[in-house]
A and B are shown apart, each in its own frame.
Chain A
Amino acid sequence: MNHGALSRWLPWVVVGLFALFPLLESTFYTQLVTKVLIMAIFAMSLDLLVGYTGLVSFGHAAYFGLAGYALALMGPKYEAASLWWTLPASLGICVVFALVTGLLVLRTRGIYFIMVTLAFAQMLFFIFHDTKLGGGSDGIYIYAKPTMNLGETVLVNLEKLDQFYWLVLAFTAASFFLLRRILGSSFGRTLVGIKVNEHRMRALGFPVFRYQLASFALAGALGGLAGYLAAVQFGFVNPEILSWHQSGMVLMMVILGGMGTLHGAVLGAFAFVLLQEVLSNQAWFGVAAKHWQLAMGILIMLVALYLPQGLAGLMNSFRRKPQVEAEEGADG
């Protein structure tokens, strides 16, 4: 079976092909795929929690929105901020928020964990929605995109669509390879062990809480990376990016793609954003296009029912023959 070799080179080929995309396509599609790639980072970061640590968070938009607002509020109003410090600072804020809320939410499990993560995200939503801090319900514009300069030279010009695309692609690829590396390490195996059987992990001597907190913080940082990039792309932030719709959307991406596989999260982000584009296309679906969320909901339900391992599982079943684990005689 050349599965190992395939999973080693395939991601690089995919990244290479994606790098060519802006050379071939119109700005509309370049922007669309940029959005997809950002969502892929967001979905991978949530999959780290849901698919690999067994923590179903329903408040992951908190990090997405927090980093976006951090960028909008930290930079000078009409001039460009430097990415070199606004990005680490935004992610730092997300890590601090994850550590502080994690100390509380990680004491709960199951449905309570879902509720408490949602509650913290809603708290942020109302802080930004109901106070003047971030421009209230209208949000704030980010008039100038951050700069990424080295001394006098412009390293990446984020105002240019294709340069921004390549930057996002680099971040998406880096997130994928970083997570893959981490998940193959002792630390990652510990997380999966916790997901499968937390009780036994504890009995084996693992300080489960610390591992979960570390995972929670890392997921928060990567969720923040996605939110930062999204804020740069759209040039404004408003409370919607912190809302439970946003948390639900990224959770649907993870479920659609298949929990517990990184490429599944990427596939889920793609499928979701593209389906959203298609289903909300008025030229194709007329008035029904307005109700694209209904169609999407039905699709997600069908996936949950018939493809419990999502699109990644579907891909696997094409690729390899089902492995029959022959039950040898018990007395063998």
Chain B
Amino acid sequence: MAEAILRTEGLTKRFGGLVAVSDVSLDLHVGEVHVVIGPNGAGKSTLTNLLSGDLPPSAGRVVLEGRDIAGLSSDQISRMGVGRSYQKTNIFLPFTVFENARLASQSRTPHATRVFSRAEGYAEINARAHAALEAAGLGHRAERVAATLSHGEQRQLEIAMCLATQPRVLLLDEPLAGMGPHESQRMVELIKKLTADHAIMLIEHDMDAVFAVAHRLTVMVNGEVLESGTPEQVRASPAVQAAYLGGEEMLHG
């Protein structure tokens, strides 16, 4: 197994007395999808926030390619190649779909901070934005105002913006929630395609999707890792069966 591109050691986040993420150690590898599942409130989104720099950890390390990035700001971490999508759609509602993606793309071309040339005049930035929209299935919506998109389409835009920053590590927080079956299927295909040259952490509730893409599976409960391993190992774990998967419907396929 190659060196992990991103790993955490004893990662912990406390909100007052609540320990939302407790002593979590996991790693992400290029070419693999690491799925994190767990009931609502388990600490999955908080874990994502700790990796992306949206929140500083209370304790523990986040190591990106050998460098401890815990406590760096989210913009620094983003520029180091870690991209994320949000569970709660977090886009620029008054802007067009294209402008949403263009801004994301622009962040990868710092010389575009030039003050006097038109923002749309950079072919490289535009191309990256269009490619991200196409990949997320929104190419035909480029000129629409983001606020007028359906909820599912806004979820797609959320992913497109993440892609437009060309990250090597992708942190996807429930990307399929709110998408129709058609778009979900498309997103699963996209995740599979991205796996080859990305390290992906996926938080997801839809078990069909989980087992379709997962190389590794981590189950979180109450901020702690209950079980972690290959999907087969996790499925076979008595602790997981008792605490979470339980139901028959989880054991298909």
Give chain A's interface residues, CB within 8 Å of chain B. Answer: 181-182, 184-190, 193, 196-197, 199-208, 325, 327, 330-331
Contact = CB atoms under 8 A, between A and B. Distances in A.
Nearest to A329: B150
B74 A203 contact: yes
B252 interface: no
B79 A203 contact: no
B170 to A, nearest CB: 13
A190 B94 CA distance: 14
Interface string B177-194: 000101000000000000
A181 B182 CA distance: 43
Contact residues on B (Cβ < 8 Å of other chain), bracket: 35 or more
A200 B91 contact: yes
Interface string B71-108: 00111001100001010001111110001001110111
A203 to B, nearest CB: 5
Given A186-B106, A202-B75, A327-B148, A196 B116 contact: no
26 contacts: A181-B115, A184-B118, A184-B119, A185-B114, A186-B113, A186-B119, A186-B125, A187-B114, A187-B115, A189-B106, A189-B119, A196-B93, A197-B90, A197-B91, A200-B90, A200-B92, A201-B103, A202-B74, A203-B54, A203-B78, A203-B84, A204-B75, A205-B75, A205-B107, A205-B165, A330-B152
B52 interface: yes
B108 A205 contact: yes
Interface of B: 52, 54, 73-75, 78-79, 84, 86, 90-95, 99, 102-104, 106-108, 112-119, 122, 125, 144-145, 148, 150-153, 161, 165, 180, 182
A205 B114 contact: no
Nearest to B104: A204
Contacts of B119: 184-186, 188-189
B148 A205 contact: no
Q: Is the interface of A mostly helix, strand, loop or mixed?
A: helix
A197 B93 CA distance: 9
Given A185-B119, A197-B90, A330-B180, A203 B148 contact: no
A178 to B, nearest CB: 9
A204 B161 contact: yes
Contacts of A206: 75, 107
Contacts of B180: 330-331
Contacts of A330: 150-153, 180
A203 B119 CA distance: 20
Contacts of A185: 114-119
A208 B53 CA distance: 14
B132 to A, nearest CB: 12
Contacts of B104: 204
